[in-house]
Amino acid sequence: MPTILAVESSCDETSVAIVTNRNVIANVVASQIKLHEQYGGVVPELASRRHLEMINPCIDQAMTESGLSWSDIDAIASTVTPGLVGSLIVGVTAAKTLAMVHNKPFLGIHHLEGHIYASYLGEPSLKPPFLCLLVSGGHTSLIHVIKSGVYKTIGSTRDDAAGEAFDKVARLLNLSYPGGPIIDKLAKEGNPHAFKLPEGKVSLPNNQGYHPYDSSFSGLKTAMLRLIQGLQKENPDSLPVADLCASFQYTVAQALTKRAIRACLDLNLDTIAVGGGVAANSALRNTLQAEAQNHNLQVFFPPLKYCTDNGAMIACAGEEHFINKMRSPLSLGVSSRMNLENIEQLYSVN
């Protein structure tokens, strides 16, 4: 089995990992949360500068932790899209330089494919076809994983991503960044039925009902804003933060679960793999697990450390492409967006 070293730097985590046979040998993650926290979100210019500072120490640490030498590494992979361009460039330049210096093949990886592959790290027996519910800070998608490297996105968000909604609602409640983990924690003390909130259905044209798989979270965010303002007017000194967090989280979990189950049944699939930072959410885990059981479906969530951005998931995707004889040219650039359906553009077959 090949051994792949991968670099991830698409947003606010610098990560370098080494994976072989879907087994993580090293996974070093330098999080920038502390840096961006004071601004309530990621500041792209600061992110790329911090990646530049951290990339070499992360590479050194991953190599040291693995106990391997460069001759043991078969290929170098790196996230090339989608993401913050200035941040992506840092990781990709480091990865290409390593590929050149050590004379290894280079593989450009789509970040969302990485999130899909995070599920294989926890469940090596997982095999396509399956449905992936991908819920991160930048994306909310239902992806039909048809076979290795072949994807069809059948549902997405029309506005805010699920993680983005957690982050924005946390800001409304004066909670820290990122919002997901703190809302998840506070929600444990609250009543999920304290407030009824809109689930964010997306209407189809000509009164044809609602889109079965698409979601919208901006209406929910606005409803939270109005609710918080109303409650503050009534009682300026005590906001029922736990109940607000629990009700918001419940609504998001319900919206995502309904769409994922419906899509899985409609596509005649029996497995849902969840990926992205919001896959760490406890309400989503419980609701989806229970609903899937009711419909005789299997659900896999990656281990918590592989839900948020990490190099191991990129290396895992890189390993599969390497085995399938895909290679990326060193002239491959980065891009802020690319549809998952187009990833063959990243490779030529050797």
Out of 16, 121, 245, 280, the only residue in the binding site for ligand KG4 (CB under 6 A) is 280
In the complex, the smallest distance separating the C-beta of residue 198 from Zn ion, rounded to whole angstroms, is: 26
184 binds ligand KG4 (CB under 6 A): yes
In the complex, the smallest distance separating the C-beta of residue 279 from ligand KG4, rounded to whole angstroms, is: 8
In the complex, the smallest distance separating the C-beta of residue 304 from ligand KG4, rounded to whole angstroms, is: 8
184 binds Zn ion (CB under 5 A): no
Query: Which tokens sit at 261?
Result: 């189950």
Contact call for residues 316 and 117 (beta carbons, < 8 A): yes
For the chain, the first-to-last Cα distance in angstroms comes to: 18
d(CA 310, CA 136): 13
15 is in an annotated binding site: no
116 binds ligand KG4 (CB under 6 A): no
Q: Where are the beta strands (DSSP E) in 39-139?
A: 75-81, 106-110, 130-135
Query: CB-wise, 139 or 144, nearer to ligand KG4?
Result: 139
d(CA 301, CA 278): 10
Out of 8, 113, 160, 167, the only residue in the binding site for ligand KG4 (CB under 6 A) is 167
Pick one of Zn ion, ligand KG4, none as the site partner of residue 117 (Cβ within 5 to 8 A by kind).
none
136 binds Zn ion (CB under 5 A): yes
Tokens 């990833």, located at residue? 343
12 binds Zn ion (CB under 5 A): no
Query: CB-wise, 178 or 190, nearer to ligand KG4?
Result: 178
- Where does this chain touch ligand KG4 (CB under 6 A) — which range of 28-36, 49-57, 67-75, 177-185? 177-185
Residue list 138-157, contact with ligand KG4 (CB under 6 A): 138
Q: What angle do CA 338, 339, 345 make, to 5 degrees?
A: 70
184 is in an annotated binding site: yes
309 binds Zn ion (CB under 5 A): yes
**In three state form, how does the secondary structure of 239-308 look?**
CCHHHHHHHHHHHHHHHHHHHHHHHHHHCCCCEEEEECHHHHCHHHHHHHHHHHHHCCCEEECCCHHHCC
180 is in an annotated binding site: yes
d(CA 205, CA 225): 28
Where along the sequence are the contacts to Zn ion (CB under 5 A)? 136, 309
